[in-house]
Amino acid sequence: MFFQSGPISRGEHSKQLAIIAKKLATNQIKNVITLAGAGISTSAGISDFRSSGTGLYHQLNKFDLRCAEFIFDYNYFQSQPASLYSILRENFISKTMHPTATHCFIRLLAAKGLLKRHFTQNIDGLDLKAGVPRERVIEAHGTLHRSYCVDCQARYDFEWLATKLDAQNVPTCDKCQGLVRPDIVLFGEPMNFDFEFRFVYHYNSGSRDFTKCLICASAYGKRT
């Protein structure tokens, strides 16, 4: 059975939450899979992609591109990395981000031994910051908390990236001065193999080793 937090009425949403809470409280749910999208982080001050007036795609209008999504394109990043880093700095790196109630709920599922797997489309790493166990988290689009040099493959953490971006528009490698990019999936690149493999395993192989799937603020099936 699937419960989706998406374009439904407030009343229906409340009913779904009440059903879930009751089943969790009475141990009727044993294994849970969560699928999370950008909406679970908006209350942390992080923009989603498509919200009118505030979404990332709206913010990209200032770059005067024929297609706003070019900013997140692999080939465009190779030639104009400063544009992507401008968006990442403004929306993620320069902010103090804290997990939301939804992140904490997912952590609670894990703490109670109910969380089978947490699939996320988000790159903010707030699920891990909330305390969701690393081995339960599958990042479809990677994370800003890892970055690497495209030339020598030297790897860096989020703190290094944030410090570098305070000093320069495009971070360069400490070892070889090559371009450093965040470990996120750009348009034109394959999705995280671990995500695809485990997603297929859970949904297409007939191995339904879970009792509930909670879709949290996401339209899975769309690439955002």
Give me the active site residues, please: 141
213 is in an annotated binding site: no
Q: CB–CB of 38/217 below 8 Å?
A: yes
Contacts of 125 (CB under 8 A, 6+ apart): 143, 144, 145, 158
> Any binding-site annotation on 173?
yes
Asked whether residue 176 is marked as a ligand-binding residue, the answer is: yes
Residue closest to 170 by CA, chosen among 143, 140, 147: 147
58-86 b/e with 16+ CB inside 10 Å = b? ebbeeeeeeebbbbbbeebbeebbebbbb
List Cα–Cα distances, 143 to 2, 101, 115, 126, 209, in angstroms. 26, 20, 21, 10, 27
- H helix runs in 70-211, sequence order: 74-79, 81-88, 101-111, 126-130, 158-167, 193-204
Summarize the annotated binding site as residue ranges. 149, 152, 173, 176
Instruction: Mark the binding-site residues for Zn(2+), compressed into ranges.
Output: 149, 152, 173, 176
